[in-house]
Amino acid sequence: MTSRTRPLLPVLLCALIAICGCTPKSIDIGSGDASSAKIPSGKDTITVFLTGNLLGTLQPCGCSAGQLGGFGRRRAVLETVADDRKLVVDTGNLLQAQTPQDMLKLGIIFQALSILNYDVANLNADELSLATELGLVAGGGFRIITADADGDAQT
């Protein structure tokens, strides 16, 4: 798989701002001292979860003891925050290659992201093309963005 790596932070920040909007209360940072910062709590707080670099791995490989990860672990972590108080974003690199096995994995990954109530997934140009070809884009249950298209990709 060929893809160009581009800085994703500006794109993701814009997406987060567009999706979340502005909260009615601002964070009071006081005199600039970090210890005086007051972060809103309760219904004014949104927790942002960022995941990424799945590279087609659906669960930990099991090659060493004590590994955490996979979609089971993600689910456990994501369930610690109420659905209306979180924003869940996958930053990309869902697949490592475009083999027939990876094509099957992409469908499973899309199902898992939907079940886990992801809000946004960033796809690189190859993943977007493959997802479109497989008919996964329309019914994903989450928004798709891309920071790796040359202007001809449709999202």
Strand segments (E) across 6-152: 47-51, 86-90, 120-122, 143-145
Q: What's the pLDDT band for 24 if we cut at 50, 70, 90?
A: very low
On the question of pLDDT at 4 being above 60, the answer is no
In this prediction, what percent of the chain has a pLDDT beyond 90? 38
Q: Which two tokens stand for residue 38?
A: 């007051």
Is this structure's pTM higher than 0.75? no
Residues 6+ apart with CB under 8 A from 68: 60
On the question of pLDDT at 40 being above 60, the answer is no
**Chain centroid to CA 150: how far?**
21
How far apart CA 79 and CA 71 sit, in angstroms, is: 12
